[in-house]
A and B are shown apart, each in its own frame.
Chain A
């Protein structure tokens, strides 16, 4: 079920080996600059299906904010945002270019003083609830969030049956 269009730095394995139990978090093949190729002096294969932009990551994609409190807030937010071009990773855990750009966006906005909630809301406005790993509480997700409590109560009630009935 490959999407019709190539997403940023999506690894499209040409091999037919199934991706058995493999967490390929390394999306994106790096197109090394000429300098590195020269450094290696080796035949670096030019990947035929180049699904990578070749531009370096955005400034704040892989650098922390100077203010540790802000960086902590940004980090806490990033691990809850979904990488849109990956197979189930947060933007904090992904090598994909778009994930890097999203990290840069998060850090930039938090540095500018926005609250993590505001940044999350901005992204949800653009991508829907899919982009957050923390599903909001609304009509569609009420069953999800209430289920734990419901199960606890039902289970406790069922467990009563195992206990001795106190007879007065």
Chain B
């Protein structure tokens, strides 16, 4: 029995080493994913941020057709990068709504003028309240919502050309 005890420290060290090495060679995913994926969209109503676009509420997502919900802001640099891809999605017939985080009307207007406007509605979330209720932790993020108001998929970060097929697939599956 005593003999075994002597190898316990070595064994404990091997375990420690394994944990540490695994952290090194399989680096953890640092993005914070929303835990709301698969659940119903929380109820919210957001006022309009610019006069030309209506505000956004949960009812918009229970009309039977899957839609995209894009969380963005005019002060967010990757949002500029993803704007062309959102325009492409819109051209393919995908309905896109947005929530503007901590933003102002003039800034949003300027952003849309510069980068294109793929949105049907834009909600004004001045204190990130709806963003928090969605489990979103930054901008930009895009949620695929099915026609019954259920969150089907979350895309974290800007939408790149190579991400478009996956989003289209998710929209298709949500039908």
Contact = CB atoms under 8 A, between A and B. Distances in A.
Answer whether A and B touch in the complex at a CB cut-off of 8 Å.
Answer: yes
A6 B31 CA distance: 11
B14 interface: no
Contacts of B34: 126-127
Given A5-B156, A6-B139, A126-B134, A84 B32 contact: yes
Given A52-B75, A55-B104, A104-B127, A1 B27 contact: yes
B73 to A, nearest CB: 6
Nearest to A83: B137
Contacts of B156: 3-5
B78 A4 contact: yes
A98 interface: yes
Contact of A126 (B31, B104, B135): B135
Interface string B139-175: 1110000000000000011100000000000000000
Contact of B102 (A7, A53, A128, A131): A53
Which of A8, A84, A104, A125 is most buried by chain B, counting CB atoms within 10 A of its CB? Answer: A8
Nearest to A84: B137
A84 B33 CA distance: 10
B75 A54 contact: yes
B63 to A, nearest CB: 24
A98 B137 contact: yes
Interface in A87-132: 97-98, 101-102, 104-105, 123-128, 130-131
Given A5-B158, A126-B34, A102 B132 contact: yes
B35 interface: yes
A49 interface: yes
Interface in B74-114: 75-78, 101-104, 107
A4 B82 CA distance: 11
Q: Which size bracket describes the interface of A in this complex?
A: 20 to 34
Nearest to A158: B5
Contact of A7 (B35, B103, B139, B158): B139
Nearest to A154: B8
Interface of B is mostly: loop
Interface of A is mostly: loop
A48 B78 CA distance: 14
Contacts of A128: 32-33, 35
Given A5-B76, A7-B139, A104-B127, 12 more contacts: A3-B138, A3-B156, A3-B157, A4-B31, A7-B138, A53-B101, A84-B137, A101-B127, A101-B131, A105-B129, A125-B35, A158-B5
Interface of B: 5, 27, 30-36, 73, 75-78, 101-104, 107, 126-129, 131-135, 137-141, 156-158
17 contacts: A1-B27, A1-B30, A3-B157, A4-B157, A5-B141, A7-B137, A8-B139, A53-B102, A58-B127, A59-B127, A98-B138, A101-B131, A104-B127, A105-B132, A123-B132, A125-B135, A127-B35
Interface of A: 1, 3-8, 10, 49-55, 58-59, 84-85, 97-98, 101-102, 104-105, 123-128, 130-131, 158
